[in-house]
Amino acid sequence: MAIPSAAQAFRRARPTVANTIAESPMPDFITSPGLFVKEQKLRPVGGLRGAIYSMTGGAVNMGPGLKQRQEEELGRRISRQLQGSYNTAVLSLKGGIGKTSTTVGVGLTLAEYRGDAPCAIDANPDSGDLVERALGEGIYQQSSPRTITDLLKNIESIESLTALSRYMHHAGRLHLIAGEQDPEVSDSLTAEEYLRIRKLVSAYYSVALTDCGTGVTHNAMSGILQSADNLVIAAGYAVSGAKRARSTLQWLASHGYEELARNAIVVITDKDEISSRVDKQAIQEHLAGICRELIAVPHDRGVADGDLVTLDVLKSETRRAYREIAAAIVDGYR
């Protein structure tokens, strides 16, 4: 055993001030100072609780009711901080079923709640209208017509968000990459090109949504599926729409994307106000059994025109549905 020198023995025997602080347990009031202000009870908004709060000038605070607490929980889920960059693809086997409307509605909702701006990419090979729906046709026509094709042409030279921003369109805090409008060019977006865009976007955005074209076999699709962290499958109540949602999940599961199929969020949009002959409940139950989550978006005149989608003109049920989709998407980034 090594014998300590006289100096070492002396240092051990005579604790210094530094030694004493390091070795002795800290009193509680130093290690955990606690909060310097009392935690405030949340203020109720709306309803009887809100009215009582206002009438008494805040003296009687019954706290938020169940609905408000649920809304706050949704907000917390949507705004959860993420380590890294994630992507959700919005797809369907049937066209005209709500992919773009859902991408814009959910994108605007993510932009409203998240600390960082989300991005939406139009990868529709058939002259996608994502940016038109987010900006309104008039503003989009006036803005610089930069599309995904222009971005690809210059992708090597983009080394900052400022440079990337020149190829993006902005609907408030939702940043968008427009799809190619020339039908002769648009279907040429390859999987490899999509992956290059995705890689660039992932350097600057923690959440990206990709609005896909109809079907699962167009050129870019294998790149989209390879790099997607989760999927939103758009569906409708019309029997054909519901069947195609099931076929989409089956196709994914049998082509190596079991995980994506299992974790998919099916969004069923009542865009045609379907007749009472169709058993909505049965369709919902059937689809709910084969995906992670099923969320219904009600018919909404604010979306029905196929033009600009803005959250403030939507019914509260539609906004709520978009919030639930956004929360389910962020929950899936684990």
Ligand X SMILES: Nc1ncnc2c1ncn2[C@@H]1O[C@H](COP(=O)(O)OP(=O)(O)OP(=O)(O)O)[C@@H](O)[C@H]1O
Helix (H) or strand (E) holding 316: helix 316-331
Q: Which of 124, 206, 219, 248 binds ligand X (CB under 6 A)?
A: 124
Residue 99 lies near ligand X (rule: CB under 6 A): yes
Identify residues 134-193 at the interface with ligand X (CB under 6 A).
none
- Nearer Cβ to Mg ion (100/109): 100
Nearest to 306 by CA among 99, 79, 111, 37: 99
300 forms part of the interface with ligand X (CB under 6 A): yes
Query: Structure tokens of 86?
Result: 């994630």
Q: Is 95 in the site for ligand X (CB under 6 A)?
A: yes
Distance in Å, CB of 104 to ligand X, minimum: 8
State the minimum distance, in angstroms, from the CB of residue 305 to ligand X: 6
Is 234 a binding residue for ligand X by CB under 6 A? The answer is yes
- Which long-range contacts link 160-163 to residues 24+ away (Cβ below 8 Å)? 161/204
99-118: which residues touch Mg ion (CB under 5 A)? 99-100
Residue 68 binds ligand X, judged by CB under 6 A: no
Backbone φ and ψ of 267, nearest 5°: -110, 120
The DSSP 8-state label assigned to residue 87 in this structure reads E
Give the number of residues in contact with ligand X, rule: CB under 6 A: 21
Site for ligand X contains 210 (CB under 6 A): no
Q: Which one-letter amino acid corresponds to residue 208? A: A
Own/partner contacts of 282-290, CB < 8 Å, gap of 24 or more, are: 283/237, 283/239, 283/242, 286/242, 286/246, 287/235, 287/242, 287/245, 287/246, 290/246, 290/249
Q: Answer yes or no whether residue 244 interacts with ligand X by CB under 6 A.
A: no
Cβ closer to Mg ion: 110 or 309?
Answer: 309
Q: How far apart are CA 117 and CA 73, in angstroms?
A: 20
SS3 content of the chain, % helix, strand, coil (to 5): 45, 15, 40
C-beta closer to ligand X: residue 211 or 293: 211
Interface contacts to Mg ion, rule CB under 5 A: 99-100
Interface contacts to ligand X, rule CB under 6 A: 92, 95-101, 124, 214, 234, 269, 271, 297, 299-300, 303-306, 318
